[in-house]
């Protein structure tokens, strides 16, 4: 709309056409819009970079405030100051008398490449001769390649930050002599590690918006098995299950805490045990996660919805974040913890 209004106003002012004749229906046009001074004032306030090129060559006769902010000023070569505009666009507009349009990359700013939708509109006199050119440039969203490059940069910086936090926790653990403090710091470091690994897996799925959680679950449990206390095995059964990428980190922490609790508390001290982790679908398309052990069962009176241990608090918090439901079924022969999430 801004482009149409600028071009129409210029034509009205320069060639004396009826002010408002070509404006969209419902647009208020003040009397005197054909005054060149008023026209320039109007163009100067427009947010879209707009410039006027008269005669041959590419010398700018007028540039509004938005273009001047980009370094384009009256008297300067427009294509030199604004590389996104190719000289061939000006030449073709003069030759054909038709609108020229191109999407192009401009200068590299501190944030990276800038992308522009550039238009060159010829202004025709009464004899059909091109008397001037109106150049407008609207910044467009970055290209897919540039967008992905930025995502990779952000992802890399975040991964480095998480690794730094984990390293600091490790150093603090080594410097502490209190066994309880050391255990707490080790747990915190382990949780940061889970977040780091989940973040790395989500990066490749950002464009798709979803991730097959079955693949992620197998990889996660393989890593957990290598760090569990005692000789425990994790057996994973998982159906293909698409979930939003922003659920990967809370989902991973839920699995990590439930598997870790089973490994630490379900089996007699020093005894090996197997932990089954299953992922599938329940009634109504709900996503169903199960963590099953064949251990000694939950302590009498323990209610997962009220337990005060940090691990179960973490589980409840993230189950709630994902609008899930947490239940447990326990006996002296083992425990089954079930988390049901709404359909993705």
Q: Tell me how far CA of residue 228 lies from CA of 164, 199, 223, 225, 301, in angstroms.
A: 23, 21, 9, 5, 26
Q: Where are the alpha helices (DSSP H) in 176-277?
A: 179-203, 213-227, 248-265
> At the top level of CATH, which class does the domain 208-344 belong to?
alpha beta
**pLDDT confidence of residue 141:** 67
Buried b (16+ CB within 10 A) or exposed e, 224-242: bbeebeeebebebebeebe
pLDDT in tens, 109-144: 444 567 888 999 998 877 888 889 999 998 876 655
Pair of tokens at residue 152:
């990779």
Most confident of 151-155, 187-191, 329-333: 329-333
Residue-averaged pLDDT of the chain: 80
pLDDT confidence bin for 306, thresholds 50/70/90: confident
**pLDDT confidence of residue 190:** 78
User: Scanning the structure block, which residue is given the tokens 């440039």?
Assistant: 137
Lowest-confidence pick of 59-63, 200-204, 273-277: 200-204
**pLDDT confidence of residue 154:** 67
pLDDT confidence bin for 56, thresholds 50/70/90: confident
**pLDDT confidence of residue 35:** 60
Distance, CA of 140 to chain centre:
17
* Domain spans in the chain, listed from the N-terminal domain onward: 2-142, 148-207, 208-344
**Virtual CA dihedral for 30, 34, 40, 41, nearest 10 degrees?**
-20
Of 297, 295, 307, 304, the closest CA to residue 324 belongs to 304
Strands, DSSP E only, in the chain? 50-54, 60-63, 100-109, 112-124, 130-140, 210-212, 232-238, 242-244, 273-281, 287-293, 325-331, 334-341
Q: Compute the distance between CA of residue 36 and CA of residue 32 in angstroms, rounded to an integer.
A: 9
Of 221, 241, 251, the closest CA to residue 317 belongs to 251
Q: Compute the distance between CA of residue 247 and CA of residue 198 in angstroms, rounded to an integer.
A: 10
Write down the CATH superfamily of domain 2-142.
Answer: PAS domain (3.30.450.20)
Pair of tokens at residue 23:
């404006």
Q: Compute the distance between CA of residue 130 and CA of residue 95 in angstroms, rounded to an integer.
A: 8
Q: Compute the distance between CA of residue 250 and CA of residue 317 in angstroms, rounded to an integer.
A: 9
pTM of the predicted structure, to 2 decimals? 0.54
Pair of tokens at residue 9:
């106003």
């Amino acid at each position: 709309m801004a482009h149409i209004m600028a071009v129409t106003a210029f034509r009205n002012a320069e060639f004396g056409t009826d002010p408002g004749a070509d404006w969209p229906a419902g647009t208020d046009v003040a009397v005197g819009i054909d005054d060149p001074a008023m026209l320039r004032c109007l163009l100067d306030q427009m947010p879209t970079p707009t410039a006027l090129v008269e005669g041959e060559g590419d010398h700018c006769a007028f540039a509004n405030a938005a273009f001047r902010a980009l370094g384009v000023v009256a008297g300067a070569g427009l294509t030199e100051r604004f590389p996104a505009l190719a000289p061939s666009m000006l030449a073709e507009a003069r030759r054909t008398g038709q609108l020229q349009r191109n999407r192009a990359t401009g200068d590299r700013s501190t944030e990276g490449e800038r992308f522009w939708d550039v238009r060159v509109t010829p202004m025709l006199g009464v004899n059909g001769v091109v008397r001037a050119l109106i150049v407008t440039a609207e910044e467009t969203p970055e290209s897919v390649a540039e967008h992905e490059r930025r995502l990779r940069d952000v992802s890399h910086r975040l991964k480095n930050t998480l690794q730094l936090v984990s390293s600091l926790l490790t150093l603090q653990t080594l410097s502490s002599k209190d066994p309880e403090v050391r255990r707490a710091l080790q747990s915190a470091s382990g949780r940061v590690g889970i977040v780091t690994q989940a973040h790395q897996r989500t990066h490749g799925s950002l464009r798709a918006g979803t991730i097959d959680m079955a693949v992620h679950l197998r990889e996660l449990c393989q890593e957990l098995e290598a760090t569990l206390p005692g000789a425990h095995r994790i057996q994973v059964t998982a159906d293909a299950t698409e979930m939003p990428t922003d659920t990967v980190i809370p989902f991973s922490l839920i699995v990590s805490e439930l598997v870790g609790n089973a490994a630490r508390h379900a089996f007699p001290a020093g005894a090996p045990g197997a932990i089954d982790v299953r992922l599938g679908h329940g009634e109504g398309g709900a996503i169903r996660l199960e963590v099953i052990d064949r251990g000694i069962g939950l302590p009498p009176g323990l209610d997962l919805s009220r337990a005060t241990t940090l691990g179960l608090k973490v589980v409840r918090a993230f189950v709630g974040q994902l609008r899930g439901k947490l239940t447990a079924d326990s006996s002296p022969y083992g425990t089954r913890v079930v988390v049901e999430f709404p359909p993705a």
